[in-house]
Chains A and B, each alone.
Chain A
Amino acid sequence: AQSVAQPEDQVNVAEGNPLTVKCTYSVSGNPYLFWYVQYPNRGLQFLLKYITGDNLVKGSYGFEAEFNKSQTSFHLKKPSALVSDSALYFCAVRDYTDKLIFGTGTRLQVFP
């Protein structure tokens, strides 16, 4: 079955430090992976996606994600966290019917 897992409910990081939000996936065939961010009382905003090509994908707001086929992971990263990055982050994967399957979300808290 196609699935995506976000093993951490919450990630805490100090402003200025690097951040990582983890995502692992299970799909048959080539994976198509997405990251979305949800700010409080707002809808989901698209950050970046992996379709094919370079394993390091760059996206909006200075975020990037590293695709690792052997570890079936697609971790979201940022070199230097901002307090304004505090939000709920969702990883998603396309299933065999082309629907998006979402993870349960990881709350990122960046402390000043």
Chain B
Amino acid sequence: NAGVTQTPKFRVLKTGQSMTLLCAQDMNHEYMYWYRQDPGMGLRLIHYSVGEGTTAKGEVPDGYNVSRLKKQNFLLGLESAAPSQTSVYFCASSFGQGKGETQYFGPGTRLLVL
């Protein structure tokens, strides 16, 4: 199994450009998450999905949109990129969202917005 994969690995955008980050998992997990990681701030939840066709806002959702059209894929979109969105983006998935459930992470996408 590949686990959780993310595309692309690295991207440079100009302010105002749009892009989509793709996350795919082959573990048949119901739950998927998008986080951003910034220096000194740990990981913060952007959006998440509890199943195909569902999405919900996390801690820092502004400026991002998501879609979960297929169970195995979770897309994160930036409609108009801003320098504040320069970050490392991680996707994660889990079988459930119970207290003891473990989240499994992808390798990350490094995004630079100029």
Residues of A within 8 A of B (CB): 30, 32, 34, 36, 41-46, 49, 51, 90, 94, 98-100, 102-105
B90: chain A residues within 8 A (beta carbon): 43-44
Distance in angstroms between the alpha carbons of A105 and B105 in the assembled complex = 16
Distance in angstroms between the alpha carbons of A109 and B26 in the assembled complex = 34
Apart from A46-B102, A51-B100, A100-B43, 9 more pairs, CB < 8 Å: A32-B100, A34-B102, A41-B107, A42-B108, A43-B4, A46-B103, A99-B45, A102-B44, A104-B42
Q: Are the C-beta atoms of B100 and A49 separated by less than 8 Å?
A: yes
CB distance from A44 to the nearest CB of B (A): 4
- Pairs A-B, 6 closest by C-beta atoms: A102-B42, A43-B105, A51-B100, A44-B105, A32-B99, A102-B43
CB distance from B45 to the nearest CB of A (A): 6
27 contacts between A and B (CB under 8 A): A41-B107, A42-B107, A43-B4, A43-B90, A43-B105, A43-B106, A43-B107, A43-B108, A44-B90, A44-B92, A44-B105, A46-B104, A49-B102, A90-B42, A90-B43, A94-B99, A98-B97, A98-B98, A98-B99, A99-B45, A99-B58, A99-B59, A100-B45, A102-B42, A102-B44, A103-B42, A104-B41
Q: What is the total number of residues of chain B having a CB less than 8 Å from a CB of chain A? A: 23
CB distance from B14 to the nearest CB of A (A): 24
A-facing residues in B77-114 (Cβ within 8 Å): 90, 92, 97-100, 102-108
Distance in angstroms between the alpha carbons of A45 and B40 in the assembled complex = 19
Most buried by B among A30, A44, A51, A99: A44
B43: chain A residues within 8 A (beta carbon): 44, 90, 100, 102
A43: chain B residues within 8 A (beta carbon): 4, 90, 105-108
B97: chain A residues within 8 A (beta carbon): 98
B48: chain A residues within 8 A (beta carbon): 99
Most buried by B among A36, A51, A90, A102: A102
A41: chain B residues within 8 A (beta carbon): 107-108
A99: chain B residues within 8 A (beta carbon): 45, 48, 58-59
Closest chain A residue to B35 by CB distance?
Answer: A102
